[in-house]
Structure 1
Protein backbone atom coordinates (compact mmCIF):
# COMPACT_ATOMS: atom_id res chain seq x y z
CA UNK A 1 0.00 0.00 0.00
CA UNK A 2 1.28 3.44 -0.91
CA UNK A 3 1.24 5.96 1.92
CA UNK A 4 3.63 8.63 0.59
CA UNK A 5 3.67 9.75 -3.04
CA UNK A 6 6.24 12.21 -4.34
CA UNK A 7 5.77 14.00 -7.67
CA UNK A 8 8.83 15.38 -9.45
CA UNK A 9 9.60 17.80 -12.27
CA UNK A 10 12.47 20.22 -12.79
CA UNK A 11 11.64 23.52 -11.08
CA UNK A 12 8.71 22.41 -8.89
CA UNK A 13 6.68 25.44 -9.95
CA UNK A 14 4.57 24.18 -12.90
CA UNK A 15 3.97 20.48 -13.53
CA UNK A 16 4.69 18.77 -10.22
CA UNK A 17 2.71 21.20 -8.03
CA UNK A 18 -0.21 20.96 -10.47
CA UNK A 19 -0.08 17.16 -10.30
CA UNK A 20 0.32 17.30 -6.51
CA UNK A 21 -2.80 19.45 -6.12
CA UNK A 22 -4.86 17.28 -8.49
CA UNK A 23 -3.74 13.97 -6.99
CA UNK A 24 -4.19 15.19 -3.41
CA UNK A 25 -7.73 16.33 -4.24
CA UNK A 26 -8.53 13.09 -6.06
CA UNK A 27 -7.25 10.99 -3.15
CA UNK A 28 -8.74 13.24 -0.45
CA UNK A 29 -10.77 10.40 1.07
CA UNK A 30 -7.66 8.25 1.55
CA UNK A 31 -4.77 8.59 3.97
CA UNK A 32 -2.20 8.87 1.18
CA UNK A 33 0.17 11.82 1.56
CA UNK A 34 1.09 13.61 -1.68
CA UNK A 35 4.00 16.03 -2.03
CA UNK A 36 6.22 17.38 -4.79
CA UNK A 37 9.78 18.53 -5.38
CA UNK A 38 12.11 19.54 -8.19
CA UNK A 39 15.33 18.16 -9.58
CA UNK A 40 16.56 21.76 -9.95
CA UNK A 41 13.92 23.48 -7.88
CA UNK A 42 13.41 27.21 -7.81
CA UNK A 43 13.44 26.86 -4.03
CA UNK A 44 10.81 28.83 -2.10
CA UNK A 45 9.19 30.17 -5.30
CA UNK A 46 5.40 29.95 -5.53
CA UNK A 47 3.59 28.10 -8.27
CA UNK A 48 4.16 29.73 -11.67
CA UNK A 49 1.44 32.38 -12.31
CA UNK A 50 0.05 30.83 -15.50
CA UNK A 51 -0.06 27.37 -13.89
CA UNK A 52 -1.96 28.93 -10.97
CA UNK A 53 -4.45 30.60 -13.34
CA UNK A 54 -5.10 27.32 -15.16
CA UNK A 55 -5.68 25.55 -11.83
CA UNK A 56 -8.07 28.29 -10.71
CA UNK A 57 -9.95 28.07 -14.01
CA UNK A 58 -10.53 24.39 -13.19
CA UNK A 59 -11.89 25.21 -9.75
CA UNK A 60 -8.81 24.69 -7.62
CA UNK A 61 -8.12 27.30 -4.99
CA UNK A 62 -4.44 28.13 -4.93
CA UNK A 63 -2.62 26.69 -1.98
CA UNK A 64 0.53 28.20 -0.52
CA UNK A 65 2.98 26.13 -2.58
CA UNK A 66 6.69 26.81 -2.20
CA UNK A 67 9.10 24.97 -4.47
CA UNK A 68 11.42 22.51 -2.77
CA UNK A 69 14.53 20.70 -3.92
CA UNK A 70 14.48 16.91 -4.22
CA UNK A 71 16.60 15.22 -1.56
CA UNK A 72 17.80 11.66 -1.11
CA UNK A 73 15.82 11.64 2.13
CA UNK A 74 12.60 12.52 0.27
CA UNK A 75 13.25 9.77 -2.28
CA UNK A 76 13.90 7.20 0.41
CA UNK A 77 10.85 8.27 2.42
CA UNK A 78 8.46 7.90 -0.52
CA UNK A 79 6.61 4.75 -1.52
CA UNK A 80 5.90 5.93 -5.07
CA UNK A 81 7.63 8.62 -7.12
CA UNK A 82 5.93 10.00 -10.22
CA UNK A 83 7.88 12.03 -12.78
CA UNK A 84 7.07 13.93 -15.95
CA UNK A 85 9.82 12.75 -18.31
CA UNK A 86 11.97 9.65 -18.79
CA UNK A 87 15.10 11.67 -18.07
CA UNK A 88 13.74 12.46 -14.61
CA UNK A 89 13.75 8.74 -13.76
CA UNK A 90 17.44 8.55 -14.67
CA UNK A 91 18.22 11.66 -12.61
CA UNK A 92 16.48 10.22 -9.55
CA UNK A 93 18.25 6.89 -9.90
CA UNK A 94 21.58 8.74 -10.10
CA UNK A 95 20.74 10.46 -6.80
CA UNK A 96 19.29 7.35 -5.14
CA UNK A 97 19.81 4.04 -6.97
CA UNK A 98 17.77 2.31 -4.26
CA UNK A 99 14.65 4.02 -5.66
CA UNK A 100 14.59 1.66 -8.65
CA UNK A 101 11.19 0.00 -8.82
CA UNK A 102 9.26 2.88 -7.28
CA UNK A 103 9.85 5.62 -9.87
CA UNK A 104 7.39 5.84 -12.76
CA UNK A 105 6.20 8.33 -15.32
CA UNK A 106 3.04 10.15 -14.31
CA UNK A 107 1.86 9.22 -17.81
CA UNK A 108 2.59 5.50 -17.29
CA UNK A 109 -1.01 4.47 -17.97
CA UNK A 110 -1.08 6.58 -21.16
CA UNK A 111 1.61 4.46 -22.89
CA UNK A 112 4.39 6.02 -20.80
CA UNK A 113 3.55 9.47 -22.11
CA UNK A 114 5.90 12.27 -21.13
CA UNK A 115 4.52 15.66 -20.10
CA UNK A 116 6.57 18.52 -21.52
CA UNK A 117 7.52 21.51 -19.42
CA UNK A 118 5.32 24.54 -20.20
CA UNK A 119 7.64 26.93 -18.35
CA UNK A 120 8.22 30.22 -20.21
CA UNK A 121 5.73 29.25 -22.89
CA UNK A 122 2.30 30.70 -23.53
CA UNK A 123 -0.90 29.79 -21.76
CA UNK A 124 -1.82 27.12 -24.38
CA UNK A 125 1.22 25.09 -23.26
CA UNK A 126 0.00 25.24 -19.65
CA UNK A 127 -3.53 24.26 -20.65
CA UNK A 128 -2.14 21.31 -22.61
CA UNK A 129 0.11 20.22 -19.73
CA UNK A 130 -2.84 20.50 -17.33
CA UNK A 131 -4.98 18.25 -19.54
CA UNK A 132 -2.25 15.60 -19.71
CA UNK A 133 -1.62 15.82 -15.96
CA UNK A 134 -5.32 15.56 -15.19
CA UNK A 135 -5.73 12.45 -17.36
CA UNK A 136 -2.64 10.80 -15.83
CA UNK A 137 -3.68 11.66 -12.26
CA UNK A 138 -7.10 10.07 -12.74
CA UNK A 139 -5.49 6.91 -14.13
CA UNK A 140 -3.18 6.66 -11.12
CA UNK A 141 -5.98 7.46 -8.67
CA UNK A 142 -8.09 4.59 -9.99
CA UNK A 143 -5.24 2.21 -9.25
CA UNK A 144 -4.23 3.76 -5.92
CA UNK A 145 -7.74 3.90 -4.46
CA UNK A 146 -8.20 0.13 -4.66
Structure 2
Protein backbone atom coordinates (compact mmCIF):
# COMPACT_ATOMS: atom_id res chain seq x y z
CA UNK A 1 0.00 0.00 0.00
CA UNK A 2 1.36 3.40 -0.91
CA UNK A 3 1.90 5.68 2.07
CA UNK A 4 -0.49 8.65 1.74
CA UNK A 5 1.13 12.01 0.99
CA UNK A 6 1.28 14.49 3.86
CA UNK A 7 -1.15 16.90 2.21
CA UNK A 8 -4.11 14.60 1.64
CA UNK A 9 -6.03 11.55 2.89
CA UNK A 10 -5.89 8.01 1.46
CA UNK A 11 -8.71 6.76 -0.73
CA UNK A 12 -11.95 6.15 1.17
CA UNK A 13 -11.25 8.70 3.91
CA UNK A 14 -12.58 12.25 4.00
CA UNK A 15 -10.17 15.15 4.41
CA UNK A 16 -11.75 16.01 7.77
CA UNK A 17 -11.32 12.45 9.08
CA UNK A 18 -7.74 12.38 7.83
CA UNK A 19 -6.93 15.73 9.48
CA UNK A 20 -8.41 14.61 12.80
CA UNK A 21 -6.44 11.36 12.64
CA UNK A 22 -3.20 13.19 11.95
CA UNK A 23 -3.79 15.49 14.91
CA UNK A 24 -4.22 12.61 17.33
CA UNK A 25 -1.03 11.64 19.19
CA UNK A 26 0.21 8.10 18.76
CA UNK A 27 -0.83 5.95 21.74
CA UNK A 28 1.86 5.36 24.33
CA UNK A 29 0.40 2.04 25.26
CA UNK A 30 -1.90 -0.39 23.54
CA UNK A 31 -4.41 -2.97 24.54
CA UNK A 32 -3.17 -6.51 24.70
CA UNK A 33 -3.54 -8.26 21.34
CA UNK A 34 -6.35 -10.73 20.95
CA UNK A 35 -4.24 -13.84 21.19
CA UNK A 36 -4.20 -16.90 23.37
CA UNK A 37 -3.05 -16.58 26.97
CA UNK A 38 0.44 -18.00 27.35
CA UNK A 39 3.26 -18.26 29.83
CA UNK A 40 5.79 -15.45 30.20
CA UNK A 41 8.49 -17.39 28.37
CA UNK A 42 6.29 -18.09 25.35
CA UNK A 43 7.22 -16.75 21.94
CA UNK A 44 5.57 -13.75 20.32
CA UNK A 45 5.58 -13.09 16.58
CA UNK A 46 4.48 -9.74 15.16
CA UNK A 47 3.57 -9.31 11.48
CA UNK A 48 3.62 -5.84 9.95
CA UNK A 49 2.37 -4.21 6.76
CA UNK A 50 1.01 -0.77 5.86
CA UNK A 51 -2.75 -0.72 6.46
CA UNK A 52 -2.94 -3.89 8.60
CA UNK A 53 -5.94 -5.16 6.67
CA UNK A 54 -4.51 -7.41 3.91
CA UNK A 55 -1.04 -8.90 4.15
CA UNK A 56 -0.08 -8.77 7.83
CA UNK A 57 -3.44 -10.02 9.17
CA UNK A 58 -3.44 -12.84 6.62
CA UNK A 59 0.01 -13.87 7.84
CA UNK A 60 -1.17 -13.44 11.43
CA UNK A 61 -4.23 -15.69 11.25
CA UNK A 62 -2.42 -18.36 9.24
CA UNK A 63 0.56 -18.47 11.60
CA UNK A 64 -1.71 -18.50 14.62
CA UNK A 65 -3.59 -21.46 13.20
CA UNK A 66 -0.31 -23.33 12.74
CA UNK A 67 1.47 -22.38 15.96
CA UNK A 68 -1.08 -21.72 18.69
CA UNK A 69 -0.89 -25.34 19.88
CA UNK A 70 2.77 -24.64 20.70
CA UNK A 71 1.79 -21.64 22.82
CA UNK A 72 3.11 -19.10 20.31
CA UNK A 73 1.36 -15.70 20.31
CA UNK A 74 0.89 -14.06 16.90
CA UNK A 75 -0.49 -10.59 16.26
CA UNK A 76 -0.14 -7.80 13.69
CA UNK A 77 -0.04 -4.04 13.17
CA UNK A 78 0.35 -1.47 10.41
CA UNK A 79 2.76 1.40 9.87
CA UNK A 80 -0.13 3.49 8.44
CA UNK A 81 -3.01 1.38 9.71
CA UNK A 82 -6.59 1.91 8.60
CA UNK A 83 -7.44 1.75 12.27
CA UNK A 84 -10.54 -0.22 13.14
CA UNK A 85 -11.04 -1.60 9.63
CA UNK A 86 -11.45 -5.31 9.02
CA UNK A 87 -9.92 -7.52 6.34
CA UNK A 88 -11.43 -7.03 2.87
CA UNK A 89 -13.55 -9.78 1.40
CA UNK A 90 -10.78 -11.00 -0.88
CA UNK A 91 -8.36 -11.42 2.03
CA UNK A 92 -11.00 -13.19 4.12
CA UNK A 93 -11.60 -15.65 1.30
CA UNK A 94 -7.88 -16.36 0.97
CA UNK A 95 -7.55 -16.86 4.73
CA UNK A 96 -10.41 -19.37 4.82
CA UNK A 97 -9.09 -21.18 1.76
CA UNK A 98 -5.66 -21.51 3.39
CA UNK A 99 -7.15 -23.05 6.54
CA UNK A 100 -7.45 -20.11 8.93
CA UNK A 101 -10.30 -19.84 11.40
CA UNK A 102 -12.92 -17.74 9.56
CA UNK A 103 -14.14 -16.25 12.85
CA UNK A 104 -10.64 -15.13 13.81
CA UNK A 105 -10.10 -13.55 10.41
CA UNK A 106 -13.47 -11.79 10.53
CA UNK A 107 -12.72 -10.44 14.01
CA UNK A 108 -9.52 -8.71 12.95
CA UNK A 109 -9.38 -4.94 13.28
CA UNK A 110 -6.47 -2.86 12.04
CA UNK A 111 -4.24 -1.05 14.52
CA UNK A 112 -1.16 1.14 14.44
CA UNK A 113 2.33 -0.17 15.01
CA UNK A 114 3.65 1.19 18.31
CA UNK A 115 6.81 0.53 20.28
CA UNK A 116 5.29 -1.77 22.92
CA UNK A 117 4.40 -4.28 20.19
CA UNK A 118 8.00 -4.32 18.98
CA UNK A 119 9.40 -4.58 22.48
CA UNK A 120 7.19 -7.60 23.13
CA UNK A 121 8.04 -9.45 19.91
CA UNK A 122 10.64 -12.19 19.64
CA UNK A 123 10.34 -12.06 15.84
CA UNK A 124 9.05 -9.25 13.64
CA UNK A 125 8.02 -10.28 10.14
CA UNK A 126 7.30 -7.41 7.79
CA UNK A 127 5.61 -7.74 4.44
CA UNK A 128 8.06 -5.47 2.57
CA UNK A 129 11.40 -3.72 2.96
CA UNK A 130 9.72 -0.37 3.64
CA UNK A 131 8.05 -1.87 6.72
CA UNK A 132 11.32 -3.40 7.90
CA UNK A 133 12.92 0.05 7.65
CA UNK A 134 10.03 1.61 9.58
CA UNK A 135 10.38 -0.97 12.36
CA UNK A 136 14.12 -0.46 12.75
CA UNK A 137 13.71 3.32 12.67
CA UNK A 138 11.12 3.09 15.44
CA UNK A 139 13.20 0.66 17.49
CA UNK A 140 16.83 0.19 16.35
CA UNK A 141 17.32 -2.56 18.90
CA UNK A 142 14.87 -4.75 16.97
CA UNK A 143 17.20 -5.01 13.96
CA UNK A 144 18.44 -8.55 14.58
CA UNK A 145 14.94 -9.95 15.06
CA UNK A 146 13.29 -8.12 12.17
CA UNK A 147 13.04 -9.58 8.68
CA UNK A 148 10.72 -9.30 5.76
CA UNK A 149 8.69 -12.50 5.64
CA UNK A 150 10.15 -13.68 2.36
CA UNK A 151 13.66 -12.69 3.45
CA UNK A 152 13.28 -14.83 6.57
CA UNK A 153 12.08 -17.78 4.49
CA UNK A 154 14.97 -17.41 2.05
CA UNK A 155 17.56 -17.32 4.83
CA UNK A 156 15.93 -20.09 6.85
CA UNK A 157 15.85 -22.38 3.81
CA UNK A 158 19.66 -22.61 4.00
CA UNK A 159 19.42 -24.20 7.47
CA UNK A 160 18.30 -27.80 7.81
CA UNK A 161 15.89 -28.70 10.59
CA UNK A 162 18.70 -30.62 12.26
CA UNK A 163 20.99 -27.57 12.18
CA UNK A 164 18.24 -25.40 13.65
CA UNK A 165 17.64 -27.95 16.42
CA UNK A 166 21.37 -28.06 17.18
CA UNK A 167 21.46 -24.28 17.47
CA UNK A 168 18.55 -24.47 19.91
CA UNK A 169 20.30 -27.12 21.98
CA UNK A 170 23.32 -24.85 22.36
CA UNK A 171 21.09 -22.53 24.41
CA UNK A 172 19.63 -25.20 26.70
CA UNK A 173 17.34 -22.59 28.21
CA UNK A 174 13.75 -21.42 28.00
CA UNK A 175 11.75 -21.62 24.76
CA UNK A 176 12.52 -17.95 24.19
CA UNK A 177 16.26 -18.54 24.67
CA UNK A 178 16.18 -21.50 22.31
CA UNK A 179 14.36 -19.50 19.68
CA UNK A 180 16.77 -16.58 20.05
CA UNK A 181 19.65 -18.94 19.37
CA UNK A 182 17.99 -20.30 16.23
CA UNK A 183 17.09 -16.80 15.10
CA UNK A 184 20.73 -15.84 15.43
CA UNK A 185 21.65 -18.74 13.14
CA UNK A 186 19.11 -17.56 10.59
CA UNK A 187 20.40 -14.00 10.76
CA UNK A 188 23.94 -15.18 10.15
CA UNK A 189 22.84 -16.27 6.68
CA UNK A 190 22.36 -12.63 5.67
CA UNK A 191 24.68 -11.81 2.80
CA UNK A 192 25.25 -15.49 1.98
CA UNK A 193 22.08 -15.97 -0.06
CA UNK A 194 21.79 -12.94 -2.35
CA UNK A 195 18.52 -12.26 -4.14
CA UNK A 196 16.96 -9.35 -6.03
CA UNK A 197 15.66 -6.91 -3.37
CA UNK A 198 12.09 -7.04 -4.69
CA UNK A 199 12.04 -10.80 -4.11
CA UNK A 200 11.94 -10.08 -0.37
CA UNK A 201 8.62 -8.22 -0.65
CA UNK A 202 5.05 -9.51 -0.65
CA UNK A 203 3.05 -7.54 -3.22
CA UNK A 204 0.37 -5.24 -1.81
CA UNK A 205 -3.06 -6.25 -3.17
CA UNK A 206 -5.07 -3.42 -1.54
CA UNK A 207 -7.77 -2.08 -3.89
CA UNK A 208 -6.46 -4.27 -6.70
CA UNK A 209 -7.80 -7.28 -8.57
CA UNK A 210 -8.54 -10.71 -7.14
CA UNK A 211 -5.65 -11.96 -9.26
CA UNK A 212 -3.33 -9.63 -7.37
CA UNK A 213 -4.72 -10.87 -4.06
CA UNK A 214 -4.02 -14.42 -5.23
CA UNK A 215 -0.46 -13.48 -6.23
CA UNK A 216 0.13 -11.82 -2.87
CA UNK A 217 -1.07 -14.95 -1.05
CA UNK A 218 1.08 -17.14 -3.31
CA UNK A 219 4.14 -15.16 -2.22
CA UNK A 220 3.15 -15.08 1.43
CA UNK A 221 1.93 -18.60 2.18
CA UNK A 222 5.04 -20.64 1.21
CA UNK A 223 7.18 -18.34 3.34
CA UNK A 224 5.06 -19.22 6.36
CA UNK A 225 6.10 -22.84 5.92
CA UNK A 226 9.68 -21.88 6.74
CA UNK A 227 8.61 -19.80 9.73
CA UNK A 228 6.64 -22.75 11.10
CA UNK A 229 9.55 -25.14 10.50
CA UNK A 230 12.04 -22.94 12.30
CA UNK A 231 9.74 -22.30 15.27
CA UNK A 232 9.00 -26.01 15.65
CA UNK A 233 12.71 -26.84 15.45
CA UNK A 234 13.46 -24.30 18.19
CA UNK A 235 10.77 -25.60 20.52
CA UNK A 236 11.29 -29.29 19.96
Instruction: State the TM-score, normalized to the length of structure 1.
Output: 0.93
1:135 to 176, 200, 222: 222
Distance in structure 2 (CA, Å) of the matches to 1:41 and 1:2: 27
For structure 2, the residue ranges without an aligned partner over 5 or more in a row are 1-40, 155-194
1:19 aligns with 2:59: yes
RCO (CA 8 Å, sep 6+): is it higher in 1 or 2? 1
SS in 1 for 2:69: coil
Tell me which residue corresponds to 1:51: 91
- The count of corresponding residues between Structure 1 and Structure 2 is 146
Query: Which structure: greater strand fraction?
Result: 1
**SS in structure 2 of the partner of residue 51 of structure 1:** helix
Q: Tell me, in whole angstroms, the C-alpha distance in 2 between the residues paired with 1:138 and 1:2.
A: 20
Contact 1:2 1:144 in 2 (8 A): no
Higher CA-based Rg: 2
Gaps of 5+ in 1: none
Contact 1:2 1:79 (C-alpha < 8 Å) held by counterparts: no
Q: Measured at CA, do residues 2 and 86 of structure 1 come closer, stay the same or move farther in structure 2, by a change above 3 Å? A: farther
| TM-score of the two chains, using structure 2 as the length reference | 0.59
Does residue 66 (structure 1) correspond to residue 109 (structure 2)? The answer is yes
CA contact (8 A) 2:49 2:127 kept: yes
Seen in structure 2, the aligned counterparts of structure 1 residues 92 and 17 have a Cα distance that, compared at 3 Å, is: same
Q: Distance in 1 between matches of 2:89 and 2:226?
A: 26
| Matching of residues 1-146 of structure 1 within 5 Å | 3-60=43-100, 61-63=102-104, 64-108=107-151, 109-110=153-154, 113-146=200-233
